[in-house]
Amino acid sequence: MNASAFDALEVESIAAAEIARALDFYGPDGRGAAPLLPILHALQHAFGYIDDEALPILARMLNISQAELRGVVSFYHDFRRAPAGRHRLKICRAEACQSLGCEALVAYLAQAFHLAPGQTTPDGALTLESVYCLGDCALGPAALIDDELIGRLDKERIDALMSEVRK
Amino acid sequence: MSATRIYIARDSAARSVNADAVAKAIEQQARARGQIVEIVRTGSHGLLWLEPLVEVAGPQGRTAYGPVRVGDVVGLFEAGFLHGAPHDLSLGPVEEIDFFKRQHRFTFARVGVVDPLSLDDYRAHGGWQGLERARTIGPQAVVDEIANSGLRGRGGAGFPAHIKWSAVQEAQSERKYVVCNADEGDSGTFADRMLMEGDPFLLIEGMAICAYAVGSDRGVVYIRSEYPDAIATMGAAVKSARAAGIFGGAFDIEIRIGAGAYICGEETALLESIEGRRGQVRAKPPLPVQSGLFGRPTLVHNVLTLAAAPFILTQGGPAYAAQGMGRSRGTMPIQLAGNIKRAGLFEAPFGLTLRELVYDVGGGTASGRPVGAVQVGGPLGAYFPDSLLDVAFDYESLAQAGGLLGHGGIVVFDDSVDMSAQARFAFSFCAIESCGKCTPCRIGSTRGMETLDKIATGVEPEKNKALLKDLMNVMADGSLCALGGLTHLPVSSAMKHFPQEFEPGNRST
Ligand SMILES: Cc1cc2nc3c(=O)[nH]c(=O)nc-3n(C[C@H](O)[C@H](O)[C@H](O)COP(=O)(O)O)c2cc1C
Ligand code: SF4
Ligand code: FES
């Protein structure tokens, strides 16, 4: 997931495609904000985050207020308002992974790499995030590195991951 | 020389422990040895502690080996595993493994067996028969079958499914929606994910049956973003079902992706989210069956509820209802998770006790230490101590024991668990995931954390325990939905069953 520079034309074309898809599938119900989540996902995929400059464009195209739009973007944990590191490590901290020691791994990341959830390594290689369940509760502790699920996460695997992303 | 067929799961849990690398290593070894293999990637049988599990087809059926590491592959070839020869990792046929043999696989019958995206496999294994029968007997008879099956919603509340089907069927509207709730946010649950990755056409067939019965032409599957593999598999399956003309132009399905909000599993918050708004819970009434997505009559069901429909239509409601206990009819895909030796998916009729599930089926803890606590039904479910595991796993028995069944997840902790920290986590989770609409939930959850901290550090513990009780009453009574309304359950069950852990100074973290 590489952050690239903001591009108003690309924002418009992404939004237009999703608006058309929503109208096609939902008919009149698909007017207004219906395509908003798919648009935000597509923007984040293209740019790595949701740039503030995209908001007036979306507000105009969807015919909703900027206030409402900001409310939506800030509500969902997935959407970032600023670029993240080149890789995202989401570590599961929910109950099943707790029973298998995920908190010790979070502590290890802090101690060995000075990295707490929400932070990015100084070289911009990796952003660490907390998540609550990845559906790998039988083989925890679990984590997602970008879109790849990791089970039975341990310190050795974390060490390997950290040196891999820094290459 | 004909190719030897090898089955390896493409389920993301199997992939999370290196199934892809094992598949690749087998392919390379075979090539190097001049042997022809055909690797079929299936869903997982659910014996997750044995993943990556490799099955080799032979004249007598499939022989399993597992858990296979890349380093085991050369040894497997040398032992002759392509001919089913014995090896340290031999497991015999999957159907003979006790964990599998004890199950009744109604919903998960095909998972682990077929190539999830092969329409031919699906049809060859009985696919689309439920939908075909539905179209023969007509909408009213379909709802009657669902009623006769005793099917209740598998998303958490356990509400009888047919009542909602009737309501949407009777509603007058030019547009009705069927929405599949695949937000599966509860820790300890992964059955929806495994079903979508392992047999996506089953869910599609269930939705098509439901849409036919209630008169809907549009379906939406709302899948959490934490499930990239399930999203990809469902997307591909919908596309090929559409291209194959399964919907006959009368129905279509869109896949919607969540954005990391537990509350969007609550059905009205989920509908708000599809509509492009903050995932905030709506006040009821109106119920979604009256006014749901875009104000239209909407049937919202969990993945497992919809995926039970094809079996019920094929075999008849009574065949489903014949299994189970009391008012909990049929089977439940139970998920054994956390610190448990044989972790995985176990589909069985309601009525086994928690003790049977944790010990006989699950083999006790993975760490080998004594069981400390068992949380049933996700983050809003109660914690049970080892001494209270004789309760039966069904909706009413668990409710009577002060817990809930939820989405069927069972999370085991060993005796190193710190129950005061677990109680604190319940409040913290509520604070993080609250949609913000009700003050007791939004603010109370943070107050709960602070009060537990005071108790743990010995600041007026008795006064603060009383305060906490009041606070939990206010949250239970003053919350619009179960997030604020049930967070007291893990907390109070922990305090009730593990009082010593709430004595000052006993928290380890
Ligand atoms: C906080 C909260 C979270 C929920 N999460 C889910 C979920 O992830 N999946 C689900 O199917 N139902 C979830 N539910 C239940 C839904 O609101 C709803 O009852 C269910 O989708 C109805 O489907 P069913 O009849 O098949 O159970 C949740 C409810 C609450 C209050
Ligand atoms: S209880 Fe909490 S999550 Fe539920 S509606 Fe109220 S504020 Fe939202
Ligand atoms: S609790 Fe960590 S993956 Fe489910």
CA distance B316 to chain A (A): 32
Report the separation in Å between the CA atom of B99 and the middle of ligand 3, taken as the mean of its atom positions. Answer: 22
**Residue A33: which of B15, B262, B276 has the nearest Cβ?**
B276
Q: ∠B46-B222-A18 over CA atoms, to 5°?
A: 135
Residue B110 and residue B119: Cα distance in Å, rounded? 12
d(CA B8, CA B25): 12
Task: Provide the terminal-to-terminal Cα distance of chain B, rounded to the nearest Å.
Answer: 62
| Cα dist from B18 to B21, B50, B90, whole Å | 5, 12, 19
Q: At what angle are helices B461-477 and B444-456 packed, to 10 degrees?
A: 160
pLDDT range class, residue A155, cuts 50, 70, 90: very high
The closest ligand to the CA of A102 turns out to be 3
Taking only the tens of pLDDT, chain B with its 509 residues reads 689 999 999 999 999 999 999 999 999 999 999 999 999 999 999 999 999 999 999 998 999 999 999 999 999 999 999 999 999 999 999 999 999 999 999 999 999 999 999 999 999 999 999 999 999 999 999 999 999 999 999 999 999 999 999 999 999 999 999 999 999 999 999 999 999 999 999 999 999 999 999 999 999 999 999 999 999 999 999 999 999 999 999 999 999 999 999 999 999 999 999 999 999 999 999 999 999 999 999 999 999 999 999 999 999 999 999 999 999 999 999 999 999 999 999 999 999 999 999 999 999 999 999 999 999 999 999 999 999 999 999 999 999 999 999 999 999 999 999 999 999 999 999 999 999 999 999 999 999 999 999 999 999 999 999 999 999 999 999 999 999 999 999 999 999 999 999 998 776 65
User: What residues pair up with B50 in beta bridges, in sequence order?
Assistant: none
Q: How far is CA B140 from CA A75, B118, B212, B235, B307, in A?
A: 41, 31, 10, 30, 19
Question: Between chains, do B293 and A147 touch, taking CB under 8 Å as contact?
Answer: no
- How many residue contacts between A and B have a Cβ separation below 8 Å? 167
Mutate which of A90, A93, A97 for ligand 3? The one with the most ligand atoms within 8 Å of its CB, which is A97
How many whole angstroms from B44 Cα to the centroid of ligand 3?
17
The ipTM estimated for the assembled molecules is: 0.97
A133 pocket-lining for ligand 3 (C-beta < 6 Å): yes
C-alpha distances (whole Å) from A143 to each of A79, B126, B492 are 18, 36, 30
Among B271, B273, B278, B441, the mutation site with the greatest number of ligand 2 atoms within 8 A of its Cβ is: B441
Give the confidence band of A167 by pLDDT, cuts at 50, 70, 90.
Answer: confident
**For residue A3, pLDDT beyond 70:** no
Axis crossing angle, helix A102-113 with helix A155-165, rounded to the nearest 10: 40
Residue type, B399: A
> Is pLDDT at A139 greater than 50 in this prediction?
yes
Do residues B506 and B417 lie in contact, with contact meaning Cβ atoms separated by under 8 Å? no
- Cβ(B265) – ligand 1 distance below 6 Å: yes
Mean pLDDT of A53-67: 97
Centroid of ligand 1 to alpha carbon of B484 (angstroms): 14
Q: Which domains does chain B have, with CATH numbers?
A: 4-101 (3.40.30.10), 119-321 (3.40.50.11540), 324-414 (3.10.20.600), 419-502 (1.20.1440.230)
Pairing type for strands A148-150 and B383-384 reads: unpaired
Using one digit for the tens of pLDDT, what is the confidence trace for B33-90? 999 999 999 999 999 999 999 999 999 899 999 999 999 999 999 999 999 999 999 9
Residue B225: count of CB within 10 angstroms of its CB: 18
Task: Report CB contact under 8 Å: B17, A139.
Answer: yes
Q: What are the structural domains, with CATH classification, of chain A?
A: 8-75 (1.10.10), 87-165 (3.40.30.10)
Token pair, residue B199, equals 């047999």
Which chain B residues have a beta carbon less than 8 Å from that of A134? 226
Confidence of residue A1 (pLDDT cuts 50, 70, 90): very low
Residue nearest to atom 1 of ligand 2 (CA): B484
Cα(B192) to ligand 3 centroid in Å equals 14
Backbone angles phi, psi at B372, to 5 degrees: -95, -50
CA dist., res. B406 & res. B87, Å (int): 40
Sequence-ordered list of residues with C-beta below 8 angstroms from that of A20, at least 6 positions apart, any chain:
none
Kind and range of the H or E run holding B388: none
Give the DSSP letter string of chain A: -------HHHHHHHHHHHHHHHHHHHGGGGSTTTTHHHHHHHHHHHHSS--TTHHHHHHHHHT--HHHHHHHHHHSTT--SS---SEEEEEE-SHHHHTTTHHHHHHHHHHHH---TT-B-TTSSEEEEEES--S-TTS-S-EEETTEEE-S--HHHHHHHHHHHT-
Q: How confident is the model at residue B1, as a pLDDT?
A: 61
Return the amino acid letter for A57: I
Nearest Cα residue to B324 out of B335, B334, B337, B309? B334
Contact call for residues A33 and A64 (beta carbons, < 8 A): yes
- The whole-angstrom separation of Cα B13 and Cα A102 is 17
Chain A, nearest residue to B187 by Cα: A133
Res B107: pLDDT: 98
Tell which residue, B400, B478, B482, has the closest CA to residue B444. Answer: B478
Q: What pLDDT was estimated at residue A5? A: 75
Residue list, ligand 2 pocket, CB within 6 Å: B 263, 281, 434-438, 441-442, 479-481, 483-485
Put simply, the answer to whether B275 touches A33 (Cβ < 8 Å) is yes
In angstroms, what is the span from residue B266 Cα to ligand 2's centroid?
Answer: 10
The one-letter amino acid code at A16 reads A
Percent of chain A past pLDDT 70, that is, above it, reads 98
Q: How far apart are the first and last CA of chain A?
A: 16
CB contact under 8 A, B422 and A95: yes
Cβ distance B338 to A62 less than 8 Å, yes or no, reads no
What is the tens place of the pLDDT at every residue in A6-47? 899 999 999 999 999 999 999 999 999 999 999 999 999 999
Q: Is B302 in the pocket of ligand 1 (CB under 6 A)?
A: yes
Give contacts of A149 with chain B, Cβ < 8 Å.
12-13, 15-16, 229
> From CA B258, how far away is CA B279, in angstroms rounded?
10
Contact B272, B259 (CB under 8 A): no
**Does the model's pTM come out above 0.90?**
yes
Tell which one of B278, B442, B447 to mutate to probe ligand 2, the residue whose CB is within 8 A of the most ligand atoms. Answer: B442
- Residues of A whose CB is below 8 A from B493: none
Q: What single string gives the DSSP state of each residue in B331-346?
A: EEEEEEEES-SS-EEE
Phi-psi region of B458 (alpha: psi -120 to 50; beta: other; left: phi over 0): left
Give the tokens for residue B436: 């913000």
Chain CA centroid to CA B421, Å? 26
Task: Name residues whose C-beta falls within 8 Å of residue B428's C-beta, 6 or more positions apart in sequence.
Answer: B445, B449
